[in-house]
Amino acid sequence: MQIICDRTGTCGFRVHERYFLEKEQFSPGVCPRCGGPLRIVNDYTDEKVPGAVMNLDQDSRDRGKITT
């Protein structure tokens, strides 16, 4: 899976699924490039993964982890 900015036409942000676990300085759920919403997609596509969610809990050590 990958994480992309939902403003695909203007932003172009795309990273691997562990990005927000590894880069704790960025808030999961918000594009670090433009501040837009994010979408969880299948690798190298713009196809949304059904049921995939990101842990957004600020106090969780799994903050940024994606589950399906």
User: So where are the chain's domains?
Assistant: 1-68
The CA dihedral of 30, 25, 16, 51, to the nearest 10 degrees, is -50
Q: What is the mean pLDDT of residues 27-56?
A: 94
Q: Where are the alpha helices (DSSP H) in the chain?
A: 19-22
Read off the pLDDT of each residue in 3-27 and give the average, rounded to a whole number: 92
Taking residues 35-56, report their average pLDDT. Answer: 95
- C-alpha 42/C-alpha 56 separation (Å) is 20
Q: Tell me the average pLDDT of the chain.
A: 93
For residue 59, name the pLDDT band (cuts at 50, 70, 90): confident
* Averaged pLDDT for residues 21-44: 94
pTM for the whole structure: 0.88
